[in-house]
């Protein structure tokens, strides 16, 4: 999912430009690198640049808003939580890499550049259109903790953007290159294809003797299948819970904390007196990921939540039971247990016979698919078309509509088949290929029925837009390759660290339970 959401390296430019455009500044103090505290407590460290919890959460909130606008109703903050953390870490690393190189090349951000950004920002103007110093001071203090921190984040963004502009000066696209690309984009083919297999089942069931032989002779394969299905056979204890979060702002003083705590205590008293938990969560909770679901966090296992929350939630025994107030770095939580699923475990010995039957059945189905495909290949090599060979063998054959090249190779009725679709544009109409394509767990054969080239009018209509797109793609590729190389160098030298464990994360089930994924 991460790659598809990133959509290439272009997001780096978008984020940096967006960051610059937010709002800015009169107080122009620091000139050195941004420092967010000691490296021990930093979430991201790139050379001299350190990003602590506050910087990380601010960048994550921007990325979450952008992703929510992009996905609309399909956005699920809980399911995308780990992905957002990884994307944010990647954004901060890449921004710091760009700024570091810009600084080493002698690029800088002047006082005048920052002043122009501030004075041009409509968000810092009053009703009469004049710059409102007080409004800026209050906003910077609330969001960033100080004007200095706000300035330094903008300076870092500007340096990064200057480095991107430098990288973007090199790529070039010729008119001929753009014309060839449009011609390839608009060319279309129609194909016929056969796809066999994919269900892992066979009409012939393995007999008891075959199962016994498999158990005696194929222990390694059966153990491998058991490990492959371990998530089915060994399920840890899980609970489903709701929570209401009463958020405590970062840097809040003791009085502010006590005010939030008092409100949480009053809500807890109301819940113990019979108030509707889901209704109160929908009305009051500060957790945007679960608020619309009445505070429902779904099922989660141990270790998927921040430790204080995890401990309190799993201490609840009966459905409907409420916790006391639970304090995390996000604020105060009230938790209610909804359901408990006990751990289940089935040993290898318990399921070995089932595994043996499944393995033999799957292999029989694959053997049957290969046998059918081999007969079709032999017929094609003997001079028959795929359509004629499939008809004689009484094998179903499918015909497509007009298809264009696609990066994912998607063919309706077949799925992602990059190699097959690429081959369709390389052979003449009417020809059948004896090559067998593996598409997922199916075996496929191809015949090209017809091909339609792009007209000169179609090419001219799209030429300018395609030239611009190619230039952007080249720039993205160049920037991505440069960042990947620099990232590897800094990781090897020990100057780049990402410590997501330093996040004081609000509770949220992981997208992949029990599995931590590298931001890279």
User: Who has greater pLDDT, 420 or 25?
Assistant: 420
Reported as a pLDDT band with limits 50, 70 and 90, residue 204 is: low
Burial class (CB in 10 A: 0-12, 13-18, 19+), 150: buried
User: Who has greater pLDDT, 313 or 214?
Assistant: 313
Whole-angstrom CA distances from 371 to 6, 105, 196, 200 are 42, 63, 10, 15
CB atoms under 10 Å from CB of 71, counted, come to 12
Q: Which domains does the chain have, with CATH numbers?
A: 2-170+472-502 (1.10.4030), 188-232+347-452 (no CATH), 237-342 (3.10.50.40)
Distance (Å, whole) CA 16 – CA 99: 11
Collapsing DSSP states into helix, strand and coil, what is residue 54?
helix
Burial class (CB in 10 A: 0-12, 13-18, 19+), 412: exposed
With beta carbons less than 8 A apart as the criterion, state whether 44 and 89 touch. Answer: yes
| pLDDT tens, residue by residue, 60-94 | 888 888 888 888 777 777 778 888 889 999 999 99
Residue 152's pLDDT is 83
Reported as a pLDDT band with limits 50, 70 and 90, residue 12 is: very low
Distance (Å, whole) CA 164 – CA 471: 14
Contacts of 350 (CB under 8 A, 6+ apart): none
Listed as own residue / partner, the contacts of 115-119 with beta carbons closer than 8 Å and 24 or more positions apart are 115/25, 115/26, 115/28, 117/20, 117/21, 117/24, 117/25, 117/154, 118/23, 118/24, 118/25, 118/26
Q: Calculate mean pLDDT across residues 105-131.
A: 81
The two structure tokens encoding residue 140: 């910077």
Q: Is the pLDDT of residue 378 over 70?
A: yes
Q: Calculate mean pLDDT across residues 401-430.
A: 95
Q: Calculate mean pLDDT across residues 160-173.
A: 90
Dihedral sign of CA atoms 127, 132, 137, 140 in order: positive
Q: What value does the mean pLDDT of the chain take?
A: 84
The two structure tokens encoding residue 302: 């141990």
Least confident range from 181-195, 250-264, 461-475: namely 250-264
CB atoms under 10 Å from CB of 347, counted, come to 10
Distance (Å, whole) CA 391 – CA 192: 12
| pLDDT tens, residue by residue, 280-305 | 999 999 998 899 999 999 999 988 88
Strands, DSSP E only, in 25-173?
A: 44-46, 49-51
Dihedral sign of CA atoms 425, 428, 432, 434 in order: negative
Residue 474's pLDDT is 93
Residue 504's pLDDT is 58
Q: Whole-prediction pTM value? A: 0.56
Residue 414's pLDDT is 94
Distance (Å, whole) CA 230 – CA 348: 10
User: Who has greater pLDDT, 198 or 154?
Assistant: 154
| pLDDT tens, residue by residue, 431-450 | 999 999 999 889 999 999 99
DSSP 361-425: HHHHHHHHHHHHHHHHHHHHHTT--HHHHHHHTT---EE---B---TT-EETTTEE-HHHHHHHT
Q: Is the pLDDT of residue 515 over 50?
A: no
With beta carbons less than 8 A apart as the criterion, state whether 376 and 389 touch. Answer: yes
Given the structure tokens 């029925």, which residue do they identify? 449
Distance (Å, whole) CA 34 – CA 325: 36
With beta carbons less than 8 A apart as the criterion, state whether 274 and 214 touch. Answer: no
Residue 198's pLDDT is 67
| pLDDT tens, residue by residue, 22-60 | 333 233 322 233 333 335 578 899 999 999 888 888 888
| pLDDT tens, residue by residue, 243-276 | 999 999 877 889 999 999 999 999 999 999 999 9
**Cα radius of gyration (the chain):** 30
Q: What is the 3-state secondary structure (H, E, C) of 407-425?
A: CCCEECCCEECHHHHHHHC
Reported as a pLDDT band with limits 50, 70 and 90, residue 235 is: confident
Dihedral sign of CA atoms 356, 359, 365, 370 in order: negative
Q: Calculate mean pLDDT across residues 328-356.
A: 92
Residue 249's pLDDT is 83
Which of 474, 482, 491 lies closest to 163 in space, CA to CA?
482
With beta carbons less than 8 A apart as the criterion, state whether 244 and 334 touch. Answer: yes
Distance (Å, whole) CA 403 – CA 452: 10
| pLDDT tens, residue by residue, 446-457 | 999 999 999 999
Distance (Å, whole) CA 154 – CA 162: 12
| Range 256-270 burial, b when 16+ CB lie within 10 A, else e | eeeebbeebeebbee
């Amino acid at each position: 999912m991460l790659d598809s959401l990133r959509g290439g390296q272009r997001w780096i430019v978008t984020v940096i430009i967006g960051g610059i455009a937010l709002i800015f500044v009169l107080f122009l103090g620091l000139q050195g690198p941004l420092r967010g505290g000691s490296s021990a407590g930093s979430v991201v460290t790139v050379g001299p640049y350190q990003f602590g919890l506050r910087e990380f959460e601010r960048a994550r909130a921007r990325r979450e808003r952008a992703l929510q606008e992009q996905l609309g109703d399909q956005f699920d903050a809980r399911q995308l939580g780990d992905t957002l953390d990884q994307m944010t870490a990647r954004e901060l690393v890449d921004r710091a890499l760009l700024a570091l190189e810009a600084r080493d090349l002698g690029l800088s951000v002047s006082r005048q550049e920052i002043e122009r950004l501030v004075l041009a920002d409509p968000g810092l103007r009053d009703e009469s259109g004049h710059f409102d110093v007080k409004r800026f001071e209050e906003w910077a203090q609330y969001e960033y903790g100080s004007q200095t921190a706000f300035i330094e984040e903008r300076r870092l963004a500007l340096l990064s953007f200057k480095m991107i502009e430098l990288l973007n000066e090199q790529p070039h696209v010729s008119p001929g290159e753009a014309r060839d690309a449009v011609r390839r984009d608009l060319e279309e083919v129609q194909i016929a294809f056969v796809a066999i297999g994919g269900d892992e089942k066979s009409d012939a069931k393995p007999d008891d003797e075959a199962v016994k032989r498999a158990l005696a002779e194929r222990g390694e394969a059966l153990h491998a299948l058991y490990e492959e299905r371990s998530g089915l056979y060994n399920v840890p204890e899980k609970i489903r819970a709701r929570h209401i979060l009463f958020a405590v702002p970062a840097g809040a003083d003791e009085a502010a904390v006590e005010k939030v705590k008092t409100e949480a205590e009053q809500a807890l008293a109301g819940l113990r007196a019979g108030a509707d938990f889901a209704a109160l969560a929908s009305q009051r909770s500060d957790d945007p990921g679960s608020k619309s679901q009445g505070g429902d966090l779904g099922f989660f296992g141990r270790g998927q939540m921040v430790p204080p929350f995890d401990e309190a939630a799993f201490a609840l025994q009966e459905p409907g039971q409420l916790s006391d107030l639970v304090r995390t770095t996000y604020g105060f939580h009230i938790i209610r247990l909804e359901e408990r699923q006990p751990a289940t475990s089935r040993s290898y010995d318990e399921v070995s016979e089932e595994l043996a039957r499944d393995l033999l059945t799957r292999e029989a189905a694959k053997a049957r698919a290969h046998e059918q495909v081999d007969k079709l290949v032999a017929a094609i090599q003997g001079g028959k078309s795929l359509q004629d060979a499939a008809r004689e063998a009484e094998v179903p054959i499918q015909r497509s509509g007009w298809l264009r090249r696609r990066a994912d190779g998607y063919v309706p009725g077949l799925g992602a088949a990059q190699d097959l679709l690429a081959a369709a544009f390389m052979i003449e109409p009417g020809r059948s290929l004896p090559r067998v394509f593996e598409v997922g767990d199916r075996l496929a054969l191809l015949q090209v029925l017809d091909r339609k080239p792009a007209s000169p009018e179609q090419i001219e209509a799209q030429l300018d837009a395609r030239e611009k797109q190619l230039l952007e793609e080249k720039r993205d590729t160049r920037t991505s390759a440069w960042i990947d190389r620099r990232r590897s160098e800094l990781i090897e030298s020990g100057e780049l660290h990402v410590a997501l464990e330093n996040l004081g994360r609000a509770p949220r089930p992981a997208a992949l339970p029990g599995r931590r994924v590298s931001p890279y």
